[in-house]
Amino acid sequence: MTEKRTFAVADEAAMIQLGRELADLWKAGDCILLSGELGAGKTTLVRGILAELGWTKAVRSPTFTILQTYETEPPVLHADLYRLESADDTGLEEYWHDHLCLIEWPDRLDERVTSHAWRVEIAFEEPGRVVTVTPPALD
Ligand SMILES: Nc1ncnc2c1ncn2[C@@H]1O[C@H](COP(=O)(O)OP(=O)(O)OP(=O)(O)O)[C@@H](O)[C@H]1O
Ligand SMILES: [Mg+2]
């Protein structure tokens, strides 16, 4: 995908399916910023991505732990920065290069980190959602 794309996503099952399709675009070292209001469906999309990578066990939102890794191929880092107090101590750098990084509430991060990332924005369009996927700016 080289241009911005928009998807109408009717329900939770369709969100899982979209996550499965997007997973095939991404590799270790890619950073995906997932934005959208509380309850938009960010973690649901992560569930779909992980399902596509063969993860069959539970996926919990790392709301309190901030970071959660999955030993899939590629390995995944799932972060939820909602409760992060300072952008300086995320510990994310350790995972940057060898994980597919999926980050909820990325507005807590600074530009240095986010400039080469994909952006996935989820908006409510009841009863479903609209998801906009923007590839990183081409250098
Ligand atoms: N496309 C969709 N249409 C309707 N409901 C959806 C859709 N995708 C997810 N949902 C539902 O929205 C609810 C919230 O989903 P989820 O926990 O993934 O949101 P979130 O963005 O991660 O929230 P938070 O900001 O709290 O982390 C769930 O009940 C889920 O089933
Ligand atoms: Mg979530």
Which sequence spans correspond to the domains of the chain? 5-134
Tens-digit pLDDT profile for residues 9-30 = 999 999 999 999 999 999 999 9
Q: Global pTM?
A: 0.96
**CA 71/CA 74 separation, integer angstroms:** 8
- Ligand 1 neighbour 38 (Cβ under 6 A): yes
- Ligand 1 neighbour 104 (Cβ under 6 A): yes
- Tell me the torsion sign for CA atoms 2, 28, 7, 80: negative
**CA 6/CA 24 separation, integer angstroms:** 17
**CA 61/CA 70 separation, integer angstroms:** 13
Kindly give the distance from the C-alpha atom of residue 29 to the centroid of ligand 1, in angstroms, as a whole number. 26
Report the pLDDT value the prediction gives residue 139, as an integer from 0 to 100: 54
Are 14 and 48 within 8 A, CB to CB?
Answer: no
Q: What does each of the 139 residues of the chain score in pLDDT, given as a tens digit?
A: 989 999 999 999 999 999 999 999 999 999 999 999 999 999 999 999 999 999 999 999 998 889 999 999 999 999 999 988 776 777 888 998 999 999 999 988 877 667 889 999 999 999 999 999 999 986 5
Q: Which CATH superfamily is domain 5-134 in?
A: P-loop containing nucleotide triphosphate hydrolases (3.40.50.300)
